[in-house]
Chains A and B, each alone.
Chain A
Amino acid sequence: MKYILLMSGTRAGVEAYHAWPKQDINAHMAVLHGINQDLAASGEFVATQGLSGPKEAKVVRGEKNGLPVTDGIFPESKEFLLGYWIVDVANAERAYAIAGRISAVSLNMPIEVRQFATHEAKS
């Protein structure tokens, strides 16, 4: 069963993180890397991605003539996606356990867990 684990944050939160001492940031990166390696070793890893900051993000809508219109976005307090993990696990509990681990090493930020809708029918 495939799940996506979403880590979100606010602009203020990200700025606070960037203000950490460099060695603390590196230590955090190393711990996350360790989790990724464990997922690879357990055969559960599908993908992981850190996303570029919201400054580079765009929100696009289709204009009436089909041309893209990009909005200014992300007011200070709004949450945006920082990164995600995609895992292929035996059951939901395993997905929650992985999310719990990521949360535990990331200042106990809540991690949203969503199951993929499959492309196949169940029966």
Chain B
Amino acid sequence: MTNKWDATSEHLLRELAPQVLGAVARRFRDFPSAEDAVQEAMIAAFTQWPQQGVPENPRGWLIRVASRRMTDNMRSEIARRERETAVAAETENLTSLLDVEADMDPDDTLILLFMCCHPALSPSSAIALTLRAVGGLTTAEIANAFLVPEATIAQRISRAKQTIKTSGVPFRLPSPHERTGRLPAVLHVLYLIFSEGYTSSIGSHLQRFDLACEAIRLTRNTKTLLPDSPEVAGLLALMLLTDARRAARTGPDEELIPLDKQNRTLWDHSQISEGLELLTAALSKGSVGLYQLQAAIAAVHDEAESVEDTDWPQILALYELLNRVAPSPMVTLNLAIAAAMVHGPAKGLELLRALDRDPRIAGHYRLDAVRAHFFEKMGDHEAAIQHYRMAAARTTSMPERNYLLTQAARLAGD
């Protein structure tokens, strides 16, 4: 008995992937090999189900296929080692495949999330492994998303699993105390995936996998697993409130449109509503973490029907709070922008001067870009043009370079 493969089937497969991996990794006590086996089962499903239909018990199917791969690999391993007594014992183990599904634990996806985002992993390894093991993406999809060869992603995943093996990360849920300490790493990986996806929504002709959408899905799932965490809710709110603006960010010629020039009717208002709801609930829990703060700032922008309606004093206050909680040159930069909107561009320029002495940001293109914007507001077009051009020369983003050059050209043409 099978069901037709349709538009929801891919989504179903991805949702099942971490559940299957959890079951197989737990049963065979070998996360790295289980991950490979599940990947093979996923590829088999993607190949066969569109033609043969979706099995009645898709999860059971995936578990059986993955388990078969595991036992096949174990058999060759055993044959290589030529240990006869081991063969007898292992064969007994191999016959109880059907028990694997019974071994599943609802916490498995959470275990995988913590494992794949373990602080011992480099960010690029953690991102690749999380997308595959928890997200259920194929290696090819991940490679396409990052515009690197498939083999490179395969290698990052391999190294990630090796690190997990050698660090002795156990396949179990961290204790509540450990979880508090480890959660920031998980949220950071999810945030990196979102940023990668959100910023690459330009250049759509390249048709890359939608990582922003994937990050939102993974964060939603994380929230289902950790419903009481205000940080997770805050991160999800931030993603929704940011992603809501995506359609308005680029013009018909793929040019970058800054926030203050965006057509707000193109914003996704249902995402904004959801983000606001989540944020309100998270803030009511009392703690105000980084993601909630950033989400709050995004919320103030998203709630304004027009640029003129933007509550800049509120944004300034939030950046001042952010500056106390987690100061950084970028926060100061954004604070300067808000301060300029409230107190005038001269104030903004004044705040930027401190950044010239900060080696973390001195010479960074954004400093020149923001400075140019303030000079323009003050009517000093020559200085604005100069700084737009300096910023254009330093940015490593083509859309931003084009935007900055166009601003300079616009002013020069007056």
Contact = CB atoms under 8 A, between A and B. Distances in A.
Instruction: Determine whether A and B are in direct contact in the complex, meaning some CB atoms lie less than 8 angstroms apart.
Output: yes
B400 A40 contact: no
B123 A119 contact: no
Contact of B397 (A42, A44, A45, A117): A117
Interface of A: 40-47, 88, 90, 115-123
A46 B155 contact: no
A63 B398 CA distance: 28
A117 B152 contact: no
Contacts of B122: 90
A43 B155 contact: yes
A32 B319 CA distance: 50
Contact of B399 (A40, A44, A45, A119): A119
B365 to A, nearest CB: 9
A51 to B, nearest CB: 20
Given A40-B151, A45-B149, A120 B156 contact: no
B202 interface: yes
B396 A115 contact: yes
A116 B366 CA distance: 18
Contacts of B216: none
Contacts of B149: 45-47
Interface of B: 122-125, 128, 146, 148-149, 151-153, 155-156, 159, 199-203, 206, 249, 256, 366, 395-401
Contacts of B206: 119
Given A117-B401, A119-B202, A121-B256, A41 B123 contact: no
B256 to A, nearest CB: 5
A123 B199 contact: yes
B398 A118 contact: yes
Given A117-B397, A119-B203, A121-B400, A90 B148 contact: no
A121 B202 contact: yes
Contacts of A118: 199, 396-398
A40 B123 CA distance: 17
A48 to B, nearest CB: 11
Contacts of B155: 40-43, 45
Contact of B199 (A41, A43, A120): A120
Given A90-B122, A119-B398, A121-B256, A43 B203 contact: no
Contacts of B397: 117-118, 120-122
B34 to A, nearest CB: 21
Given A43-B124, A43-B153, A43-B155, A88 B398 contact: no
B399 A120 contact: yes
B203 to A, nearest CB: 4
Contacts of A115: 396
Nearest to B205: A119
Contacts of A123: 199
Contacts of A119: 200, 202-203, 206, 398-399
A10 B388 CA distance: 38
Given A119-B202, A121-B256, A90 B396 contact: no
B259 to A, nearest CB: 9
Nearest to A41: B155
Given A42-B159, A43-B124, A116-B396, A122 B152 contact: no
A52 to B, nearest CB: 22
Most buried by A among B125, B151, B152: B152
Contacts of A43: 124-125, 128, 152-153, 155-156, 159
16 contacts: A40-B151, A41-B155, A43-B124, A43-B152, A43-B159, A46-B148, A90-B122, A117-B396, A117-B398, A117-B401, A119-B399, A120-B200, A120-B399, A121-B199, A121-B397, A122-B397
Contacts of A44: 152
Contacts of B128: 43
A95 to B, nearest CB: 13
A42 B400 CA distance: 31
A47 B148 CA distance: 9
Contacts of A41: 155, 159
A116 B249 CA distance: 22
A44 to B, nearest CB: 7
B82 to A, nearest CB: 30
Nearest to A45: B152
B300 to A, nearest CB: 17
A114 to B, nearest CB: 10
A46 B400 contact: no
